[in-house]
Amino acid sequence: MTLKLFELVGAEDTRPFSPFCWRIRMALAHKGLDAQLVPWRFTEKEAIAPYKSEKVPVLLDGDHAVSDSWVIANYLEDTYPDRPSLFGGEGGRAMARMLNWWGDIAVVGAMFPLIVADIHDHLRPEDQGYFRKSREARFGKTLEEVAAARDSAVAGFRKGLDPMRLTLRSQPFLGGAAPNYADYIMFGGFQWARAISPFKLLAEDDPIYAWREKLLDAFDGLARRSAGYPV
Amino acid sequence: MTLKLFELVGAEDTRPFSPFCWRIRMALAHKGLDAQLVPWRFTEKEAIAPYKSEKVPVLLDGDHAVSDSWVIANYLEDTYPDRPSLFGGEGGRAMARMLNWWGDIAVVGAMFPLIVADIHDHLRPEDQGYFRKSREARFGKTLEEVAAARDSAVAGFRKGLDPMRLTLRSQPFLGGAAPNYADYIMFGGFQWARAISPFKLLAEDDPIYAWREKLLDAFDGLARRSAGYPV
């Protein structure tokens, strides 16, 4: 068994920062699977073209290539069924589909304007042009204009996390007593932010803050050992 | 086995309209359990006081009383484990906790201003005073002022359902190939609205519209046979 994971980095190979790649890093650790990590940058389209993908994560399992974090998580669950479950059964797999969309929108999407300018600053100069152009087109504003609003915009981001916050008031993890893929979906976003931005996304008395601390410590501090800012 | 469910009605005993009671009506049907339905009105606090609750649903299972829809769903799952599962395993139960909060906020909470004036019109005259006073205090506006904004506010409601909509583009139900409690959580809100309001919450080409049709037809049309407006 040889697993290889292409994951997004910026100027430094040792600062992986894609929320979607982090979902899979945590899922691999949950399954107790080792993978060789292959640093990949936004502009290196040709490196993953053979695997029919334009984005990472891309997972190679021997000769088999899988892309898209949701598809990869399902692949790992189905291919390694004797290892700890990512979903806790078929009901959990189905419900995680919606939590995945929620995570894309309310965590990753909502946090993006708060950290986008910091992402830019962590890219290699030759990658900054592509990033600025594509992201400014998406926002219809300069990165600096987007960033300027973040001190007031963070309140809306935090409010949007209410369904997650209320859940963590009555159970330690979204997956129940222990974390599962539902947690890694959301944590991927926070780890992405931590990797490249000093901005304080959460108040210290927020139950989500305490939950994030536990995920940073999980798997012998896998996520905390990766390059990042204090949270 | 004698099950009894107190459920919210208005002027007519045959028009139950609480989103939380409908979650349990659907959950009982899913488990294949019959319950005697006891109509209950907002102002009849003394009828359920012996069961230590001020709100419905309240489920009586013989001498045992359970209140709060989430607690009741878990009670049914644990007490009747040999019947069809509401959660599809422990992962599903844990994740349904967050979907329950999401349903409370993005479905029930977000739909409330759109239908609140219609609820009032379906109450007995002697109950309208309590309802108007308590709800106007919550909004800080008259019911009529809240209702006046609904033609424009509905766009925000629909947009907020994106995580659910995107999920239903790739699987027939939130619970997967067949409905489970994740679906009943959200459906309860739509059935609540249907019971008392002619307002069109969903466009006909919305995947959530098609999903709602299937839930209305489930269990021999249990929900569709209950009093309601065309959706």
Closest partner residue to B95 (CB to CB) among A106, A166, A174 is A174
Model confidence band, residue B173 (pLDDT cutoffs 50, 70, 90): very high
Question: Would you say A3 and A59 are in contact if contact means Cβ atoms under 8 Å apart?
Answer: yes
Residues of A in contact with B98 (CB under 8 A): 99, 163-164, 167, 174, 182
Asked if omega into A39 is within 30° of 0 (cis), the reply is no
Q: Is the dihedral of CA B6, B9, B15, B16 positive or negative?
A: negative
Closest partner residue to A97 (CB to CB) among B94, B102, B170 is B170
Q: Half-sphere exposure (CA, 13 Å, Cβ side) for B118?
A: 19
Alpha-helical runs (H) found in A31-169 = 45-48, 69-79, 90-102, 110-121, 125-139, 143-148, 150-160, 162-168
- CB–CB contact A105 B180 (8 Å): no
Model confidence band, residue B1 (pLDDT cutoffs 50, 70, 90): low
Q: How many CB atoms lie within 10 A of CB B45?
A: 12
Closest partner residue to A88 (CB to CB) among B92, B99, B170 is B92
From its phi and psi, is residue A2 left (phi > 0), alpha (psi between -120 and 50) or beta? Answer: beta
Q: Is the pLDDT score of B109 beyond 70?
A: yes
Terminal alpha carbon distance of chain B: 36
Q: What is the dihedral of CA A193, A197, A198, A203, to 10 degrees?
A: -30
pLDDT mean over B198-212: 98
- CB–CB contact B95 A166 (8 Å): no
Tell me the pLDDT tens digit for each residue of A50-70. 999 999 999 999 999 999 999
Task: Look at residue A127 in the predicted model and tell me its pLDDT.
Answer: 87
- CB–CB contact A99 B95 (8 Å): yes
Question: Would you say A101 and B167 are in contact if contact means Cβ atoms under 8 Å apart?
Answer: yes
Query: Counting Cβ atoms within 10 Å, is residue A22 exposed (0-12), middle (13-18) or buried (19+)?
Result: buried
Task: Look at residue A1 in the predicted model and tell me its pLDDT.
Answer: 63
Q: Locate tokens 């990472």: which residue?
A: A56
Query: How far apart are the C-alpha atoms of A78 and A66, rounded to whole Å?
Result: 13
Shortest distance, CA A24 to any CA of chain B (angstroms): 18
pLDDT mean over B58-71: 97
Nearest residue to B35 via CA among B9, B72, B68? B72
pLDDT mean over B224-228: 96
Domains of chain B by range and CATH?
A: 3-79 (3.40.30.10), 90-219 (1.20.1050.10)
Nearest residue to A118 via CA among A228, A209, A204, A212? A228
Two tokens, residue B176 = 């997967």
Model confidence band, residue B202 (pLDDT cutoffs 50, 70, 90): very high
Residues of B in contact with A97 (CB under 8 A): 167, 170-171, 174
Closest partner residue to B91 (CB to CB) among A92, A166, A167 is A92
Task: Look at residue B184 in the predicted model and tell me its pLDDT.
Answer: 98
**Dihedrals phi, psi of A16, to nearest 5 degrees:** -65, 135
Two tokens, residue B161 = 């359902």
Nearest residue to A227 via CA among A32, A7, A3, A76? A7
Chain A interface test: which of B86, B87, B98 (most A C-beta within 10 Å):
B98
pLDDT mean over B150-177: 97
Mean pLDDT in chain B? 96
A77, amino acid identity: E
From its phi and psi, is residue B39 left (phi > 0), alpha (psi between -120 and 50) or beta? Answer: beta
Q: What is the ipTM of this complex?
A: 0.96
Q: What is the dihedral of CA B88, B92, B93, B95, to 10 degrees?
A: -160
Task: Look at residue A123 in the predicted model and tell me its pLDDT.
Answer: 92
DSSP state of B3: E
- pLDDT tens per residue across all 231 residues of chain A: 699 999 999 999 999 999 999 999 999 999 999 999 999 998 899 999 999 999 999 999 999 999 999 999 999 999 999 999 999 999 999 999 999 999 999 999 999 999 999 999 999 999 899 999 999 999 999 999 999 999 999 999 999 999 999 999 999 999 999 999 999 999 999 999 999 999 999 999 999 999 999 999 999 999 999 999 999
- CB–CB contact A176 B90 (8 Å): yes
A184, amino acid identity: Y
Two tokens, residue B175 = 């619970």
Tell me the pLDDT tens digit for each residue of B14-24. 999 999 999 99
- CB–CB contact B99 A97 (8 Å): no
For chains A and B, CB pairs below 8 A equal: 118
Q: Locate tokens 């806790």: which residue?
A: A88
Tell me the pLDDT tens digit for each residue of B75-88. 999 999 999 999 99
Query: How far apart are the C-alpha atoms of B52 and B67, rounded to whole Å?
Result: 8
- CB–CB contact B99 A98 (8 Å): yes
Task: Look at residue A42 in the predicted model and tell me its pLDDT.
Answer: 84
Asked if omega into A57 is within 30° of 0 (cis), the reply is yes
- Residue B95, C-beta contacts closer than 8 angstroms, at least 6 positions apart: A88, A91, A92, A95, A96, A99, A174, A175, A182, B182
